[in-house]
Amino acid sequence: MSAEEYQVIVFSVAMALLGTLVILPPGIALGWLLARKEWVGKTLVETVVALPLVLPPVVTGLVLLRLFGRRGPLGSWLDQTFQTDVVFTWKAVVLALSVMSLPLLVRNVRAAIEEVSPELEQMARTLGAPEWRVFLFITLPLAKRGIFAGMLLAFARALGEFGATIMVAGNIPGATTTLSVSIYQHVQLGQDDTVWKLAAVSAGIAFTVLLASEMLLKKKKA
């Protein structure tokens, strides 16, 4: 395997890991809110969160491009406030991976928290525990396997992302080229040996991560 191929793999894993860590706090917060609270507009929030699962990834990427481009509302604000660009940088890669994998994390966190007995939480409140202590010391520990399984699924989804990434981050060698984008590029160039090597690495990582996620969920049920 060449140094370039190795660099693409390391970069992709790092970006997928960073994207997963970025969505962890909002993913847990959203999952808890959807599992435990009722409010006006909840269905709308559920729909918006799930949209990346059903929208074509290129459409999601186009929306991100319009929002975070230099002339977009968020992009111009970031440029004026922090003098930083997002699109066509590694930050755009993280952004795309985060948005595309967030729904999977939220769904798994929500399912994990819904399996925690509300009676246990209520007992802790009755004994005087504030809501944040109930969450940190009752809900979170009991839901940790499901949350970690959701993190693994989010990581696997991020690692395999292509459409949104290429729209908002492009294909800049050494800067934004991910594993999926590199595979596509080498297919276009007819470099089958490289294609299959990268595809095997991608499939191997995905299989390992999904297997670990399934094992976690089975242990949780047991």
Q: What residues make up the domain containing 130?
A: 3-221
Q: CA–CA distance from 121 to each of 15, 56, 130, 145, 147 (Å)?
A: 36, 40, 10, 18, 18
Residue 149 DSSP SS3 = helix
Residue 24's pLDDT band (boundaries 50, 70, 90)?
very high
| Dist CA 161 CA 136 (whole Å) | 32
The H-assigned helical ranges of 37-137 are 42-54, 57-68, 73-82, 90-114, 118-126, 131-134
Provide the mean pLDDT of the chain: 93
- What total of structural domains would you count in the chain? 1
Residue 217's pLDDT band (boundaries 50, 70, 90)?
confident
* pLDDT, tens digit, 9 for 90 and up, residues 80-115: 998 899 999 999 999 999 999 999 999 999 999 999
- By CB neighbour count within 10 A (0-12 exposed, 13-18 middle, 19+ buried), where does 202 fall? buried
Question: Cα 65 to the chain's mean position, in Å?
Answer: 18
Average pLDDT in the 13-36 region? 96
Residue 221 pLDDT > 80, yes or no? no
Average pLDDT in the 20-43 region? 94
Instruction: Check residue 220 and give its pLDDT.
Output: 60
Instruction: Check residue 61 and give its pLDDT.
Output: 96
Question: Are 143 and 109 contacting, i.e. CB atoms less than 8 angstroms apart?
Answer: yes
| Dist CA 222 CA 220 (whole Å) | 5
* pLDDT, tens digit, 9 for 90 and up, residues 139-190: 999 999 999 999 999 999 999 999 999 999 999 998 999 999 999 999 999 9
CATH number at residue 49: 1.10.3720.10
| Dist CA 20 CA 25 (whole Å) | 10
Q: CA–CA distance from 184 to each of 8, 177, 178 (Å)?
A: 13, 10, 10
Q: Which of 222 and 187 is assigned the larger pLDDT?
A: 187
